[in-house]
Structure 1
Amino acid sequence: MASVMAERGGTGGGLLGWLIGWCFRLAFWLVLALALALALYRFVPVPSTLMLGRWLTLRPVERDWVPLERISPNLIRAVIASEDQRFCRHRGVDWIELNAVMADDDGPSRGASTLTMQTAKNVFLWPGRSYLRKGLEIPLAMALDLAWGKPRVVEVYLNVAEWGEGLFGAEAAAQRYFRKSAARLTVAEAARLAGALPNPRLRNPARPSRALQSAAGRVQRRMGQLGPLGDCALPG
């Protein structure tokens, strides 16, 4: 009987050890894959998970990748003013805002996502709100800020942001809504595009609703308040 119990215990211990080892190996390969992706995505055009999902389900994707030098500084400053006014000060995560949100009864349902966190979500994670995704965004955003720097984060963000059904990136959005390149966007046009981001499928920058006009007005006021704090992502 004792030998049978020992054999069963050994089998259970072996299975547990195998599972632990498998988890460690999986974690190692995931971290390695992430490190390789961070290095590769530092230089090549980057898809978003939404874009990949549309390609896999044979739905059209409209996106023209352009370097940051071919995107108007007005749009760069507009998205910083609209989405993350402390972008030039933090290292991927705005701990001041995050702590304020976590202390709020609304929790992670309201804001606190920096441009870097949104970029991490768009490129590596899934849409929707949850504590798990928010928890993954934080280390990913810190890694992006370290590996890519501010200009590359904004460049990727502006090339994967969704501005309509199947419409991704600043260049495709500028061409559809204003019939011009992203490099030629005016302050007012950039503010409309930035104001549409919270609800891009329902807000049309070419024919702005009253809500979008109000949002664009707020963006323009914030752009005026940014000063040099909106310049850290501008191409040199």
Structure 2
Amino acid sequence: MAKPSTKKDPKKKTPAKKKKKSLFWWIGVMPVIAVRWGMRFIVVVAMMVILAVGLYVVINPPTTAYIISEGLRLGSVRREWRDFETISAHMPRAIVAAEDANFCNHWGFDMDAIRDALAKGGRRGASTLSQQTVKNAYLWHGRNWTRKAMEAVITPVVEAFWSKRRILEVYMNIAEFDEGVFGVGAASQWYFGVDAKDLSLTQASRLAAILPNPKGRSASRPTNFVQKRARSIASGAQTIRVDGRSACFEG
């Protein structure tokens, strides 16, 4: 019986050994890998932002990070969601007059207000209602550059997906009006014992006047400052109605 031949077939090539990648190769390829993963990360984040913003077009925010934290701190909070049409027309006008008179004329950022704030050394805020809504609905409170950067990214998306009316509706339902009191529905009962749809111009203006310091101001026991500010807001609310700056949410 013939023994099997142990000679190598000359036609059969020996698998080439893989060359070990040099340090210089890795140094050269790392930027490419970083860019690829960076792009993937950006795409994932963009999809998450669009999904989160799109969801609240049809679903009312069930809660927010700040409402949860205050609920844990206080034990409970007062909150009652009210649809836009069940809130007194005085309230959205007062909010806009107090916080963002050019609400209907910008795309999320009031560039004139930003330039004015920069000219005054940043002592005056330039945050629009759209930005405040984004902060309240999706982010957290406090001065933080990370939060501001995320706010700047999400705000244009909200402006693209939501109507101005929807932005105001969400804002009025998640804004804080006293310690543990969130939204106009709860605030109107808490301060005045009336339904949100029955708020007078004076009452709505007082609620708007305690922003952005609801823990330090009261709408039912207003200081001279709050009374003066409320009168100014009431006048501004009537002005924006006459000059058309409330048209985007009253149509």
TM-score (norm 2): 0.82
Unaligned 5+ runs, structure 1: none
Contact 1:77 1:231 in 2 (8 A): no
What's the counterpart of residue 38 of structure 1?
Answer: 53
Deviation at residue 126 of structure 1 after TM alignment:
2.1
CA distance in 1, matches of 2:68, 2:234: 33
Aligned length: 230
CA distance in 2, matches of 1:167, 1:129: 22
What code does the residue aligned with 2:148 have?
Answer: K
CA distance in 1, matches of 2:96, 2:227: 18
Deviations 1:33-65 (Å, cap 9, x if unpaired)? 110111110111113331233456684232111
| Cα separation, partners in 2 of 1:126 and 1:215, compared to 1, 3 Å | same
CA distance in 1, matches of 2:178, 2:33: 47
Deviations 1:108-167 (Å, cap 9, x if unpaired)? x52111111111111122212245443433342222122101100000000110111121
Q: 1:99 aligns with which of 96, 100, 115?
A: 115
Deviation at residue 7 of structure 1 after TM alignment:
2.7
Q: Does 1:49 align with 2:65?
A: yes
What's the counterpart of residue 207 of structure 1?
Answer: 221
| Cα separation, partners in 2 of 1:99 and 1:132, compared to 1, 3 Å | farther
Deviations 1:5-47 (Å, cap 9, x if unpaired)? x533445556655554443333222211110111110111113
Contact 1:71 1:183 in 2 (8 A): yes
Select the structure that is richer in helix: 1
TM-score (norm 1): 0.87
Contact 2:71 2:180 in 1 (8 A): no
* Pair member with larger Rg: 2
Instruction: Note the aligned Cα RMSD (angstroms).
Output: 2.3
What code does the residue aligned with 2:168 have?
Answer: V
What code does the residue aligned with 1:24 have?
Answer: M
CA distance in 2, matches of 1:39, 1:52: 22
What code does the residue aligned with 2:90 have?
Answer: N
5 Å-filtered alignment, 1:1-236, equals: 7-11=22-26, 18-46=33-61, 47-54=63-70, 59-106=75-122, 109-226=123-240, 227=242, 228-234=244-250, 236=251
Contact 1:62 1:168 in 2 (8 A): yes
Deviation at residue 68 of structure 1 after TM alignment:
0.2
What code does the residue aligned with 1:94 have?
Answer: D
Unaligned 5+ runs, structure 2: 1-18
Contact 2:176 2:214 in 1 (8 A): yes
CA distance in 2, matches of 1:133, 1:98: 17
Percent identity, please.
Answer: 34
Report the more deviating stretch, 13-22 or 192-201. Answer: 13-22
Deviation at residue 206 of structure 1 after TM alignment:
1.2
Report the more deviating stretch, 75-84 or 125-134. Answer: 125-134
CA distance in 2, matches of 1:123, 1:12: 43
Deviations 1:56-109 (Å, cap 9, x if unpaired)? 668423211111011111011000110111111112211111122223322xx5
Contact 1:81 1:230 in 2 (8 A): no
What code does the residue aligned with 1:112 have?
Answer: A
